Chain A
């Protein structure tokens, strides 16, 4: 395999809420333009890891963190939250749309980052919706409230909203947990198409989805990295017995 360029690197990452530590000494490298899967049972720290990458955990006042995270070789401690979150976007588990129109949902990000001009914003919105494979379904109803979209459409709208601020990395926090299989397939298609331009990290409870979509996978258990490897290898010949137990469905 070709030596890949590292975009995110965590060094000795420990994450705690009050006295409860949910991630212990996580050292991971994430390569540019890969789709990295993070699998593991509930409460193994998957979401916390994801949200540590763009400092979203700090919205919880009891959160504390040790160790360091580097984004493009710079410690995220030195990067302002709003700059970091623009570069590292996130898609939440349940589709969360703002109670405004489809257009305004996507336009919100560019607007807060100072993009002005009606035509410019329209172009940004159109491009983002196209990349998220939603444009054809919504192009005639951009001014309708976003909540009228179906769950799968809403989730792709969230992806478009994230793309509109031109991130480098997209984090997915169980993006399909509330979706039917067809919507799930559409979201997965969109992820495959986005591979060319973005680094994507997918947290999922669905091991089959991880096997379908990702190239490399991390198995987290009780806040510890048990195994990291290429997805095919990890699923066919897991090195650790606990990984084997999890992916074959013996627990979790």
Chain B
């Protein structure tokens, strides 16, 4: 074996180890949570309200709260994100204003989530007088999700071959018809992926809901969008830090349910993507 081939072997080995390093923490985290929590994940745990200072019973209100927040977040962020991305990619001229918007999108994703929490608290809870409510929390999470949805949609739109637009224009279609029939359908898989990714992040965030929606202990289901709700990440935070003598397996079980929820969302996006890829013909 000559020197060049040995160097190549070493390079491959280093690359393989680096790749393996990505997998290890994920597997370990999941293993640890499942090992410590799975015994407490029972039907009662999933379907009952917490009892006895949250040391017994289940986490049903928190599960419902998180699902409601994810849906609320999607209702706000998906239309705004997708529509603004379409505008940026297809309509906006390359001028100072557009560059400013694009820069803002990039910077929005760099803002720490606790700042979003404070911002949401000031704007939605106090200024718009929505109170600590599902509405305020969803709006705050939606703003946090926007940059990922916009970026993913932009990339999905830009990856649609220019020739599709050219064909459509050459047949006399208007710009909107072209976007509607020759661009958007082929960008949907990418948009879906980005949306689910950002929503599953929103599902797991604590800081943005801290002051805007999350309830410490509220063992009933919300009645309107102006209600507070419990949410899984915040519940996990409170039972882990605020409740003395909390059984450890309940914390891990809550973590397990949160991870399972996010995993299911990602699974749905993978299935949808596979479904659309079968139709992809270019």
Q: Using a Cβ–Cβ cut-off of 8 Å, how many residues does chain A contribute to the interface with B?
A: 28
28 A-B interface contacts by CB (under 8 A): A56-B170, A59-B169, A61-B94, A81-B169, A81-B172, A82-B172, A83-B172, A85-B169, A92-B163, A92-B170, A96-B166, A96-B167, A98-B164, A98-B167, A99-B280, A100-B281, A108-B168, A109-B171, A109-B172, A109-B173, A112-B168, A112-B171, A112-B174, A112-B177, A112-B181, A145-B281, A147-B281, A161-B167
A215, B168: Cα distance in complex, Å: 30
User: Does A89 have its Cβ within 8 Å of any Cβ on chain B?
Assistant: yes
Q: Which 6 A-B pairs have the closest CB atoms?
A: A86-B172, A99-B281, A109-B171, A85-B172, A112-B173, A82-B172
Q: What DSSP secondary structure best describes chain B's contact surface? A: helix
Contact with B171, one of A61, A86, A99, A147 (Cβ below 8 angstroms): A86
Q: How far is the CB of A115 from chain B (nearest CB, A)?
A: 12
A147, B281: Cα distance in complex, Å: 7
A108 touches B181 (CB 8 A): yes
B170 touches A113 (CB 8 A): no
A90, B174: Cα distance in complex, Å: 16
Given contacts A84-B172, A86-B171, A92-B163, 15 further A-B contacts (CB under 8 A): A59-B169, A81-B169, A85-B171, A89-B170, A96-B163, A96-B166, A97-B167, A98-B164, A98-B182, A99-B186, A108-B171, A112-B172, A161-B171, A162-B170, A165-B172
A172, B205: Cα distance in complex, Å: 56
Q: How far is the CB of B165 from chain A (nearest CB, A)?
A: 8
A90, B131: Cα distance in complex, Å: 59
List chain B positions with a Cβ less than 8 A from chain A: 93-94, 163-174, 177, 181-182, 186, 280-282
Q: Which residues of B have CB within 8 Å of A83? A: 172
A83, B172: Cα distance in complex, Å: 6
Contact with A90, one of B93, B170, B282 (Cβ below 8 angstroms): B170
User: Does A199 have its Cβ within 8 Å of any Cβ on chain B?
Assistant: no
List chain A positions with a Cβ less than 8 A from chain B: 54, 56, 59, 61, 81-87, 89-90, 92, 96-100, 108-109, 112-113, 145, 147, 161-162, 165
Q: Which residues of B have CB within 8 Å of A56? A: 166, 169-170
Q: Which residues of B have CB within 8 Å of A113? A: 172
Q: How far is the CB of A8 from chain B (nearest CB, A)?
A: 16
Contact with B170, one of A61, A85, A100 (Cβ below 8 angstroms): A85
Q: How far is the CB of A85 from chain B (nearest CB, A)?
A: 4
